Amino acid sequence: MVHLRIVVPERHADQAMDLLCAADSVLNVIRLSDLARRPDGVVIMCDVAREDASVVIADLKRLNIHREGSITLELIDTAISDVADRAEKHARGAPADAVVWEEVEARTNEQVELSGVFLTFMVLAALIATVGIYQDSAILIVGAMVVGPEFGPIAGLCVALVQRRRALALRSGIALAAGFPLAIGATFAATLAFRAVGLADSSFDQSSHSIANVIASPDFFAFFVAACAGAAGMLSLSTSKSGALIGVLISVTTIPAAANIGVTAAYGDGENFRGSVGQLAINLGAILVAGTATLTVQRQLYVRRLRRHELESAAA
């Protein structure tokens, strides 16, 4: 279930109440007697089955409530009510499969900001991966993948492509364009520093380090895994399955590939440098394509649902 708190301009309050009360998937509709301030209007609260949340919000947006008032969403973990059970049965589909598009947009808007924290996480993840490459440590490589925040901007780019939001695409692209070069540069500098103080060998043979060798040798399976991870990541983001997202983060070698680019550049290893660049490009491209394709299918299902709802409302 999703809880909505709506501030409606007074002239639209009765329309909003009628709209909510007419929907079988909506319950606990409450209209407060005191008026809200900033924005001014009537406060209406209700709960709606997750499957129909975006459809109900689309109806409210037709009253321009999102421009003159406000609509706030809050997810409900538990609802103990036979009425709630009946409301969920009226909504087609399974709650676990439902996408609340407003929630997806809010999440991606949050995660694509080019901030100091984002850049710091990129650098720290790359440095952890660098040590993992030197020590041939799978644990450190996995740790670097989890720390890396790059999936947020990639997901934001997928959402922007599906919804044709140029501003979001630009912000996502800038975050990726700034984050990866900075991470690579930090890795390059760290490698030179490690060599200068004797912490790393003057020569580094990647063929004797299995993890580094895999990172620098992209193949079909690298693309396949990244595509599967991209689809899983988008499903995780859009359906609030955060546990699955952790698995996605440790499935693709974007951060390790970026770290290996810096390491191979510092050692002048052109062949493995090119292989690492290819690995990074394959991973980013596959995640973007698969994520966009997954989100496109989900969007089309939502559009069909919305159109069917509009036809049913018009017939009623």
State pLDDT tens for residues 129-172: 999 998 888 899 989 998 989 988 998 999 999 988 898 999 99
* Residue 262 pLDDT > 90: yes
Measured distance CA(21)–CA(31) in Å, rounded: 11
Per DSSP, the three-state class of 196 is: helix
pLDDT band at 181 (very low <50, low <70, confident <90, very high): very high
pTM for the model? 0.82
Say how many CA atoms lie within 13 Å of 300 toward its Cβ.
Answer: 6
The predicted pLDDT at position 65 comes to 92
DSSP 7: E
pLDDT band at 28 (very low <50, low <70, confident <90, very high): very high
Under 8 Å between Cβ of 101 and 54 = yes
CA distances from 40 to 32, 37, 45 (A): 13, 4, 15
Q: What is the mean pLDDT of residues 76-96?
A: 82
- Cα torsion angle, 46, 47, 53, 56, sign: negative
Closest CA to 133 of 224, 288, 265: 265
CA distances from 220 to 73, 126, 223, 273, 291 (A): 42, 24, 5, 19, 18
* Residue 69 pLDDT > 70: yes
* More confident position, 193 or 214: 193
| 296-316 tens-digit pLDDT | 999 998 888 888 878 877 766
Under 8 Å between Cβ of 13 and 65 = no
Per DSSP, the three-state class of 3 is: strand
* More confident position, 237 or 166: 166
The predicted pLDDT at position 61 comes to 92
The predicted pLDDT at position 242 comes to 57
What is the CATH number assigned to the segment(s) 2-98? 3.30.70.240
- Those residues whose C-beta lies under 8 Å from the C-beta of residue 62, and which sit 6 or more positions away, are none
Measured distance CA(13)–CA(6) in Å, rounded: 10
Q: What is the mean pLDDT of residues 261-290?
A: 93
Q: Which of 81-95, 129-143, 227-241, 302-316 has the highest mean pLDDT?
A: 129-143
The predicted pLDDT at position 240 comes to 65
CA distances from 69 to 40, 46, 184 (A): 7, 16, 45
Strand 26-36 to 70-75 pairing: unpaired
- Which residue type is seen at 77? D
pLDDT band at 246 (very low <50, low <70, confident <90, very high): low
Q: What is the mean pLDDT of the chain?
A: 88
Phi, psi of 17 (to 5 degrees): -65, -45
CA distances from 307 to 60, 73, 248, 303 (A): 15, 23, 33, 6
pLDDT band at 284 (very low <50, low <70, confident <90, very high): very high
Q: What is the mean pLDDT of residues 108-133?
A: 89
The predicted pLDDT at position 243 comes to 54
